[in-house]
Amino acid sequence: MTGDPLAHFEPPRAPLRLPGVLSEHEVQSLLNAPDVETPLGLRDRAMLETLYASGLRVSELASLERSNLNLRQGVVRVTGKGGKDRLVPLGDVACQWLGRWMDGPRRDWVRDSDEQVFVSRRGRGLSRQAIWQRIRNYAIILGFGARLTPHKLRHSFATHMLDHGADLRVVQMLLGHADLATTQIYTHVAQARLKDLHHRHHPRG
């Protein structure tokens, strides 16, 4: 007998790694964490609301410019991977916080010609690392641990959309995924969450 006797056998598949997500209650706690009576807190609240409302990547948020925003229509134009543009709804709440930030502290910190939406006190655009650090700080304060990342908010956005009945292809478009298979991971997350809820709350779970 010649050849590899295992050639016709499929190797065992690695277990599916599901992205971590926050519960809706945890997201609300995170959104409420910044002190909005301060300029930095108001900026951070607007950042967090925008991330959760839109599912943007943190790099997309960092590069967001005023010309991409239409708060009257409640949408943001995003240039994602591969240079592809997509329009993403923001929702009323995120638009309200963005409006307060844009018409408030941001106006005091930048020149009229500056385009970047989220800036520091010195008027410089925030980097993705700076945004990441701000979220990490709030996560530590809330006891979520240092491993909470902006991408976890993106995962939470997608999972909560599906939890509330959104179509998978709609979530794909909002996230800017080229392949539907990339988005399908969130159906596994939603199913896992449902099983966990059933186990914890059903008398025969």
Buried b vs exposed e over 80-98: b needs ≥16 C-beta within 10 Å? beeeeeeebebeeebbebb
The residue from 86, 136, 151, 188 that is catalytic is: 151
Catalytic residue selected from 43, 52, 160, 186: 186
In the residue annotation, 154 being an active-site residue is answered as yes
Q: Is 186 a catalytic residue?
A: yes
Q: Is 195 a catalytic residue?
A: no
> Inter-axis angle of helices 39-54 and 128-142, to 10 degrees?
100
Catalytic (active site) residue 57: yes
Q: Which of 43, 45, 52, 57 is catalytic?
A: 57
Give the distance, in angstroms, between the CA of residue 15 and the centroid of all CA atoms in the same chain.
25
Cα 111 from Cα 196, distance rounded (Å):
50
Q: Which of 177, 200, 202, 204 is catalytic?
A: 177
Separation between Cα atoms, residue 171 and residue 157, nearest integer Å = 9
Query: Closest Cα partner for 55 from 200, 166, 145?
Result: 166
Choice among 106, 134, 154, 160 that is catalytic? 154
Asked if 199 is an active-site residue, the reply is: no
Catalytic residue among 81, 84, 107, 195: 81
Q: Tokens 């989220």, residue? A: 118
Sign of CA dihedral 175, 40, 113, 96: positive
Catalytic residues, by residue number, are 57, 81, 151, 154, 177, 186
